Amino acid sequence: MVDLILASSSLIRREMLENAGLRVDCRPARLDEAAIRESLLAEGAEPRDVADTLAEFKARRVAEKANPGELVLGCDQVLALKGEIFGKAKDQAEAAEHLKQLQGKTHHLMSAAVLYEDNKPVWRHVGVVRMTMHALSDKQINDYLDAAWPDVSYCVGAYQVERLGARLFSRIEGDWFSVLGLPLLDVLSHLRLRGMLGA
């Protein structure tokens, strides 16, 4: 018996939920995220709405095959700088270009979570974190990527703040779990209201 179905293959999201005492089953949603993101941006969607919509699409896709009463959690994270959304870099050179645009500035990470039950959304939240990066020279960026690649190749912004990426930042304002990709405290608070959690 599981408490939650996670519509993702993200190990770090699974670990966060399991470390909080939840029994989790991972069932990745098969979506063309890039196509959905491009469609939303073409319609003028705000970064927060892009994250929320992608999280809902994932939850909905997995919920279609879930059993009655099962809770499905869909998540997505979007990085935005002055309204521009950054995707995952296709290679180290593009990662360097992303970091050159982010260095010395404050950007936002938006971590969306949507819960589905009986094939309909029952709860949603978007955690927003302000991330201020040090001013970095091209050499510092390249040295960092030489050390961190390929571990950061699947991360938006090409950084893992829980690892080497911490050295890139002067200030982080917001929920640490949202930085990692899941507004965990808000998810747990909702589950507590549902009577699913004890002390």
Per the DSSP assignment, residues forming a β-bridge with 132 are: 106, 171
Find the DSSP H helices in the chain. 11-19, 33-42, 47-63, 92-102, 138-148, 176-179, 184-193
Chain length of the chain: 199
Per the DSSP assignment, residues forming a β-bridge with 116 are: 72, 121
143 is catalytic: no
**67: three-class secondary structure by DSSP:** coil
- Cα distance between residue 174 and residue 162, in whole Å: 15
With 0-12 / 13-18 / 19 or more C-beta atoms within 10 angstroms meaning exposed / middle / buried, residue 121 is middle
Residues 76, 91, 138, 186: which is the catalytic one? Answer: 76
List, by residue number, the catalytic residues: 76
